[in-house]
Chains A and B, each alone.
Chain A
Amino acid sequence: MISIENLSFEYGEKAVLGNISAGLHEGCIYGLLGANGSGKTTLLKLISGMLFPGQGRITADGIDTSAREPEALGKIFYMQSEFRFGKQSLEKFIALHRAFYPGFSDEILEDCLEESGINPKTGDLGVLSTGEKRKLLFSIALASGTKYLLMDEPMNGMDIPSRSLFRKLLLKHLGEDRTAVISTHTPAEMENILSDILILDGKGGLFAKSTEEISDSWCFGLSESDEGALYSEPCAGGYRTIKKRGEDEATGIDLEMLFNATIKGKLL
């Protein structure tokens, strides 16, 4: 489990994260949402050990990630939003990195590459398109065997079929003992695969609940009036609303509404 304890972080005088705590459990897929500049990338960097907390600490299975010890690094794969592959072949790239990941699976990599239509004999990774590079790094992340996958806007630059493939491969190869944290600006594309939602409210706070807890607590729907709604937005024919669930039947989760309500402080 990744444990975030009383974490605070600031860039100069700008506070980004203020005393947040959360636990990221095995077998879960977390959707990390937040407005621009709310600290999504910062949080992922802090978890991976690229940045150091101002206060508090983050541990992966009890090991402080900011110490960058091989044991902790071997548990985490961080897929950045911007990256480059050098001018080298895929085979060479894998050969150079795989020694550091004892759980690396050739089967998973082969499957992902085949599904993604990426030639395993690619001679120069530098010439791949943005979408192909993302699919490739995602395949490597899944094949790495690391317990925690941190992905910063992994679907940026992917075409529609690739986005669907992303979800399929993630569900197929993640397994119950692994955890994924996916930062995204398009939650609607992810809502069917997420088990937990993390929302950075832009004021330093973190909303962290499982989809089950959210469904138990609130219902999302359309209504002619916004009476009794915790949060509402006008739409054609009435209002999109979030209400306390009470005895009502569970509804699907409208992540966009949930996000808007959270950053406006309506669900606290």
Chain B
Amino acid sequence: MNNFSFRRMAGFCRLQLCSTYFSSPRKTVPALVFLIIFIAGLSIVADEGNLAGMMTVTEDLMLVLISFVILDLYRDLTSEDNAINRMLVPASLMEKYTAMYAGTAITSAVILISATVLGSAIYTAAGHFFYPDQTDGIQLLFFRTGGWGWNDVLTACLLASGITWFAPFFRRNMGHKAWKICAAAIIYMAVLFLPGILKATGAVSAGTAKTATICIMAALIALNVRWGYAMLKNFEFDRKGND
């Protein structure tokens, strides 16, 4: 049996998505609409008076939302409660791991497309009625000057991939080994923000710092993916007190 079959991976992705987000479109669609309106509303509260600022907050909050998607799919994958445990479904770990990313990508695409349509409509209306001096027509969420760029896509990938190792790492070390969590977080942040720190001290130029940051982010994404897989490979269902 092949260790990686695209068909099995797609089947597992379908299994996860149809058991979670796409199990009931009648409930999922209103929930998504509500969530987007809520985030847009929250952004208006957070940055009142500046339309572009509000849109930036909305776009940033969408990043957080995508992170929750992969966290939720990871929880589903490693949950001990499913009638047929996902980890015991006959597919290889690589297929399940890839399916989780694929599921996140699909769900994120649905969220972002919905947010683009609905959010743009909300901000276009808001601009037309409340901030006519700040707008000259349609406001497009994400696809605008100052909207999402490659750095935001990289940040989304970094956050999503980071969760795949941080979630099990946190679970394994919370409590008496909490120092490990703090140490890992500090080291990780230090590496990530090193170019920025060097730039602030004047040791490197802004251009060099930007290039270095992109390189570090790409390397960390690769490390996250590899590390997340290793953590999943060693994942045990260790609910204590079983009979």
Interface residues in chain A, defined as those with a beta carbon under 8 Å from any beta carbon in chain B: 11, 34, 36-38, 40-42, 45, 48-52, 68-71, 73-74, 76-78, 80-88, 92-93, 96-97, 99-101, 125, 133, 137, 140, 152-153, 183
Contacts and interface: CB of A to CB of B under 8 A. Distances in A.
Interface stretch (B41-49, B83-91, B156-164): B83-91
B88 A86 contact: no
What is the predominant secondary structure among interface residues of chain B facing chain A?
Answer: loop
Contacts of B238: 11, 51
A49 B82 CA distance: 16
B1 A48 contact: no
A137 B82 CA distance: 11
Interface of B: 1, 3, 8, 11-12, 14-15, 18-20, 23-24, 80-85, 87-93, 95, 234, 236-238, 240-243
Contact of B89 (A34, A92, A97, A137): A97
B91 A49 contact: no
6 contacts: A50-B87, A68-B92, A69-B1, A69-B3, A76-B88, A84-B83
Contacts of B93: 68
Contact of B83 (A37, A68, A69, A137): A137
Contacts of A87: 23-24
B25 to A, nearest CB: 12
A210 B11 CA distance: 40
Contacts of B23: 86-88, 92
A132 B3 CA distance: 36
B3 to A, nearest CB: 8
Contact of A70 (B14, B15, B20, B90): B90
B177 to A, nearest CB: 13
Contacts of A153: 243
A96 B15 contact: yes
B92 A69 contact: yes
B83 A48 contact: no
B88 A73 contact: yes
Given A50-B236, A87-B23, A99 B11 contact: yes
A37 B88 contact: no
Lowest 6 CB-CB distances: which A-B pairs, in order?
A74-B90, A41-B242, A73-B90, A50-B237, A70-B90, A96-B15
Given A51-B236, A99-B8, A153-B243, 5 more contacts: A45-B237, A100-B8, A100-B90, A140-B84, A152-B243
Contacts of A133: 83
A78 B85 contact: yes
Contacts of B80: 50, 80
B19 A70 contact: no
A51 B237 contact: yes
A70 B8 contact: yes
A148 to B, nearest CB: 12
A80 B234 CA distance: 21
Give the one of A50, A70, A87 with max B CB within 10 A. A70
A186 to B, nearest CB: 13
A96 B19 contact: yes
Give the one of B83, B89, B95 with max A CB within 10 A. B83
A82 B79 CA distance: 12
Contacts of B241: 37
Nearest to A49: B88
A133 B84 CA distance: 12
Nearest to B243: A41
A51 to B, nearest CB: 5
